[in-house]
Amino acid sequence: MQVTQAVHKRSSIRAFTDQPVSNALIRELIEGASRAPSGGNVQPWQLYVLNEDAMTRFKQHVLEHPRREAPAYAIYPENLKEPYRSARFEVGEMMYALLEIPREDKAARLQRLAQNFQFFGAPAGFFCFIDQQMGPPQWSDLGMFLQTFMLLATEAGLATCAQEAWATKPQTVAEYVGAPPESMLFCGMAIGYEDTEAAVNSLKSNRFPVESFTTFMT
Ligand SMILES: Cc1cc2nc3c(=O)[nH]c(=O)nc-3n(C[C@H](O)[C@H](O)[C@H](O)COP(=O)(O)O)c2cc1C
pLDDT for position 65: 92
pLDDT for position 14: 98
Identify whether 141 is part of a domain.
yes
pLDDT for position 130: 98
Mutate to test the pocket of ligand 1, among 75, 142, 161 (most ligand atoms within 8 A of CB): 161
Q: Residue of the nearest CA to atom 13 in ligand 1?
A: 163
DSSP string, 75-143: SS-TTPPTTHHHHHHHHHHHHHHHTT--TT-HHHHHHHHHGGGGGGG-SEEEEEEEETT--HHHHHHHH
Identify whether 43 is part of a domain.
yes
**Crossing angle for the helix pair 23-33 and 136-155, nearest 10 degrees?**
130
pLDDT for position 125: 98
Identify whether 106 is part of a domain.
no
Mutate to test the pocket of ligand 1, among 94, 113, 163 (most ligand atoms within 8 A of CB): 163
Q: Which helix H or strand E contains 25, and what residues bound it?
A: helix 23-33
- What range defines the domain where residue 32 resides? 3-76+117-198
The whole model's pTM is what? 0.97
Residue 124, domain CATH: 3.40.109.10
Identify whether 61 is part of a domain.
yes
User: What's the number of domains the chain is made of?
Assistant: 1
Taking the C-alpha atoms of residue 151 and residue 139, their distance in angstroms, rounded to an integer, is 19
Identify whether 105 is part of a domain.
no
Taking the C-alpha atoms of residue 172 and residue 168, their distance in angstroms, rounded to an integer, is 9
157 Cβ neighbours under 8 A, 6+ residues apart: 193
pLDDT for position 136: 97
Alpha-carbon distances, residue 28 vs 22, 24, 63, 149 (angstroms): 10, 6, 30, 10
pLDDT for position 8: 98
Identify whether 211 is part of a domain.
no
Going residue by residue through the chain, which has 218 residues, state the pLDDT in tens, using 9 for 90 and above.
999 999 999 999 999 999 999 999 999 999 999 999 999 999 999 999 999 999 999 999 999 999 999 999 999 999 999 999 999 999 999 999 999 999 999 999 999 999 999 999 999 999 999 999 999 999 999 999 999 999 999 999 999 999 999 999 999 999 999 999 999 999 999 999 999 999 999 999 999 999 999 999 99
Identify whether 58 is part of a domain.
yes
Alpha-carbon distances, residue 94 vs 19, 26, 133, 171 (angstroms): 27, 30, 37, 31
Identify whether 103 is part of a domain.
no
Q: Residue of the nearest CA to atom 10 in ligand 1?
A: 163
